[in-house]
Amino acid sequence: MYSIHGSIRGKKLPLLYSLLPNKDQKTYEELFRIVAQHVRRKPDYITIDFEKAAENAFNVIYPGCEILGCFFHFKKCIWKHICELHLKKEFLENQNNRRTMKNLAALAFVPPNNVVEEFGRIKENASDILD
């Protein structure tokens, strides 16, 4: 299921739910094309999860619209990679490693020009877990 939320009178609300057959870019393009036909106002920005096909499709239908990543999904992505690397126990049982994970998530709030430098700082202060 794919959902689109919007802000109405300052409240974030679900506006559309769609059951999609797959997560292909063409499928997302069709969905966004249908939305664009029924919603004339072009968005100034969109916040999405880290589904590359959806991002590409949105760029096709709404070129020039700013695309932002969802912080919740960013943290979820970090955790997924931690689990894939079989480091879950390290992060659950070691306070320094937990702090490292939180610092990695905090990179989302660092100006883009400083991300590489800040990642290096996080890596220096982390245990060998990031090697």
Determine the residue type at 88. K
* Structure confidence at residue 97 (pLDDT): 84
Predicted TM-score (pTM) of this structure: 0.72
Given 69, 89, 121, the domain boundary residue is 69
pLDDT tens figures, 72-84: 989 998 899 889 9
58 and 104 share one domain: no
| Rounded Cα gap, residues 58 and 29, in angstroms | 7
7 and 54 share one domain: yes
Given 69, 96, 112, the domain boundary residue is 69
Range of the domain at 111: 71-130
Beta bridge partners of 6: 13
Residue 125: both structure tokens together = 């202060």
59 and 104 share one domain: no
* 120: Cα within 13 Å, side-chain hemisphere: 4
84 and 63 share one domain: no
10 and 61 share one domain: yes
**Tally of domains in the chain:** 2
